[in-house]
Copies of this chain bind each other. A is one copy, B any other.
Amino acid sequence: MVRRAFFLLLAFLAPGAAIALRPALRTLGSLHLPTSPTSRPTVAKNYSVHYFQQKVDHFGFNTVKTFNQRYLIADEYWRKDGGSILFYTGNEGDIIWFCNNTGFMWDVAEELKAMLVFAEHRYYGESLPFGDSSFKDSRHLNFLTSEQALADFAELIKHLKRTIPGAENQPVIALGGSYGGMLSAWLRMKYPHIVVGALAASAPIWQFEDLVPCGIFMKIVTTDFSKSGPYCSESIRRSWDAINRLSNTGGGLQWLTEALHLCNPLASQDIQHLKDWIAETWVNLAMVDYPYASNFLQPLPAWPIKVVCQYLKNPNVSDSLLLQNIFQALNVYYNYSGQAKCLNISATTTSSLGSMGWSYQACTEMVMPFCTNGIDDMFETHLWNLKEFSDDCFKQWGVRPRPSWITTMFGGKNISSHTNIVFSNGELDPWSGGGVTKDISDTLVAITISEGAHHLDLRANNALDPLSVLLARTFEVRHMKKWIRDFYDSAGRQN
């Protein structure tokens, strides 16, 4: 019960922490997804799989334990003469999934004569420091931190340069999206001698402490729905009370179970869970509101929120009709393929490997305050309560969050002394609220993709790509080329 309550809470308090930042988790069982019908299969994704022996603890000498970090290499277009290395800093999931969903790197490989490397984050995918015991308790989880992950990347890059003939004197650029983008930016900040620059796509490095308002995330979700159809967000805003009212009527729970086509009958104690699950669905839709049919979190049509909003044009209907409309909207997300027989509200709370890892990270370093007030957003009011959050973390993992640490370690807003980082954000992406959306200096630059959702720019070229993302990619390539050129110019001067 405690466990379940925690997950519920996490889901609501930290929608991003619990869901949005772990896109990989739901698809752990379905790697090598078929390319979506409209996305052009520009490059065949041929890669080799490798393992590198890492120290479990980079910051202490008491344990000598090591583990195998998985990484992928694709070197079809790599040139030893004047080439480069694009290094994906893996985030909270299976690296093969990220590899398959980062078509941008494959698209630019030839132009940059680049070797592509995709490095898996420790405690995700196959890179488990203690195998099946990795999530057993706080002792085994002790080495799951961003600092350890960055050190893994640094060690791995040194290893590649040492062992791959021709790689030694080439510039390495870090790339990543979401938490992976945060890691790319941080890798450049902390190890500028290892990577010459970083492309941090949709990286909410400021979604900590009070660096941005805690309500900004859900406000952006709301705006996405407001803009996608008349009365759309208003319909959702009204739905919560409708659920409350219905669930309190005789037969209301059974009615809701049927109207929403739920797989399991609702009990009264499930109502908060149900609402959290619905809210998470809207959050996810905001993240993957892509301009073409895609299969990132779920198979979806182009501009899925527009499709969803077609069912939510009228907030001023009866509670039951409103909920029937909500079902149609949910069904777009959960059943676009038409395969689902019912909707499963526990789908967002499964404790899969990856969600375990991120739940722990959210309870330790990645403390992202989220809140709603129902006015600036379409959700029920929920304040950010660190004490409560901390207590739940302690119950769940036996650890307490350290909410200021990421700011101490990585600088918060005070990052102007760093160089060569491109921060890209999509205006539709709720994570842009915690991202760097204004230039900080000549070499710390921000790109805003007006029609972009969560790291759209990292996805493969698509005929339906809006101009804004094409421009963003052009701009990103220009910066990467400059970093590469500067690297070779500097090397030339030294010889």
- A residues at B contact (CB < 8 Å): 55, 58-62, 64, 138-139, 141-143, 145, 147-148, 151, 154-155, 158, 190-194, 364, 399-400, 402, 404-405, 408-409, 411-412, 414-420, 490
Q: Given the known inter-chain contacts A64-B400, A138-B61, A400-B64, please indicate yes or no for A193 contacting B154, CB distance below 8 A.
A: no
A364 neighbours in B (Cβ, 8 Å): 61
A190 near B192 (CB under 8 angstroms)?
Answer: no
A417 near B59 (CB under 8 angstroms)?
Answer: no
A409 neighbours in B (Cβ, 8 Å): 151, 154
B402 near A192 (CB under 8 angstroms)?
Answer: no
Q: A30 to B193, alpha carbons, bound, how many Å?
A: 42
A414 neighbours in B (Cβ, 8 Å): 193
Q: A61 to B142, alpha carbons, bound, how many Å?
A: 6
Q: Given the known inter-chain contacts A155-B408, A411-B193, please indicate yes or no for A62 contacting B142, CB distance below 8 A.
A: yes
With both beta carbons as reference points, the residue of chain B lying nearest to A443 in the complex is identified as: B417
Cβ contacts A to B, 22 pairs, < 8 Å: A55-B402, A59-B59, A59-B60, A59-B148, A61-B145, A61-B364, A61-B400, A61-B402, A62-B139, A62-B141, A62-B142, A62-B399, A151-B408, A151-B409, A154-B409, A158-B404, A158-B408, A193-B411, A193-B414, A416-B490, A417-B419, A417-B420
Q: A400 to B416, alpha carbons, bound, how many Å?
A: 38
CB distance from A450 to the nearest CB of B (A): 27
CB distance from A309 to the nearest CB of B (A): 41
State how many copies of this chain the complex holds.
Answer: 2
Checking B64, B155, B194, B417 against A192 with a beta-carbon cut-off of 8 angstroms, the contacting residue is B417
Q: A128 to B319, alpha carbons, bound, how many Å?
A: 64
Q: A418 to B191, alpha carbons, bound, how many Å?
A: 10
Q: A147 to B145, alpha carbons, bound, how many Å?
A: 14
Q: Given the known inter-chain contacts A155-B408, A408-B155, please indicate yes or no for A145 contacting B192, CB distance below 8 A.
A: no
- The A contact surface, by secondary structure, is loop
CB distance from A356 to the nearest CB of B (A): 15
B60 near A145 (CB under 8 angstroms)?
Answer: yes
A59 near B155 (CB under 8 angstroms)?
Answer: no
Q: A418 to B148, alpha carbons, bound, how many Å?
A: 22
A415 neighbours in B (Cβ, 8 Å): 193
A192 neighbours in B (Cβ, 8 Å): 411, 417-418
A412 near B193 (CB under 8 angstroms)?
Answer: yes
A141 neighbours in B (Cβ, 8 Å): 61-62
With both beta carbons as reference points, the residue of chain B lying nearest to A137 in the complex is identified as: B62
A148 neighbours in B (Cβ, 8 Å): 59
Checking B59, B416, B490 against A147 with a beta-carbon cut-off of 8 angstroms, the contacting residue is B59
Q: A141 to B60, alpha carbons, bound, how many Å?
A: 9
A143 neighbours in B (Cβ, 8 Å): 60
Most buried by B among A58, A141, A190, A420: A58
With both beta carbons as reference points, the residue of chain B lying nearest to A188 in the complex is identified as: B417
Q: A408 to B419, alpha carbons, bound, how many Å?
A: 19
A55 neighbours in B (Cβ, 8 Å): 402
A151 neighbours in B (Cβ, 8 Å): 408-409
With both beta carbons as reference points, the residue of chain B lying nearest to A410 in the complex is identified as: B193
With both beta carbons as reference points, the residue of chain B lying nearest to A162 in the complex is identified as: B404
Q: A408 to B156, alpha carbons, bound, how many Å?
A: 10
Checking B61, B142, B412, B419 against A60 with a beta-carbon cut-off of 8 angstroms, the contacting residue is B142
A190 neighbours in B (Cβ, 8 Å): 190
A191 neighbours in B (Cβ, 8 Å): 411
Q: A411 to B194, alpha carbons, bound, how many Å?
A: 8
Checking B59, B154, B411 against A408 with a beta-carbon cut-off of 8 angstroms, the contacting residue is B154
CB distance from A402 to the nearest CB of B (A): 7
A411 neighbours in B (Cβ, 8 Å): 191-193
Checking B139, B145, B399, B416 against A59 with a beta-carbon cut-off of 8 angstroms, the contacting residue is B145
CB distance from A391 to the nearest CB of B (A): 14
With both beta carbons as reference points, the residue of chain B lying nearest to A490 in the complex is identified as: B416
With both beta carbons as reference points, the residue of chain B lying nearest to A196 in the complex is identified as: B417
Checking B59, B154, B193, B399 against A61 with a beta-carbon cut-off of 8 angstroms, the contacting residue is B399
The 4 closest A-B pairs by CB, nearest first: A193-B411, A193-B414, A62-B142, A192-B417
CB distance from A7 to the nearest CB of B (A): 19
A405 neighbours in B (Cβ, 8 Å): 58
Q: A417 to B171, alpha carbons, bound, how many Å?
A: 14
With both beta carbons as reference points, the residue of chain B lying nearest to A418 in the complex is identified as: B192
Q: A64 to B409, alpha carbons, bound, how many Å?
A: 18
CB distance from A138 to the nearest CB of B (A): 5
CB distance from A54 to the nearest CB of B (A): 12
Q: A59 to B58, alpha carbons, bound, how many Å?
A: 9
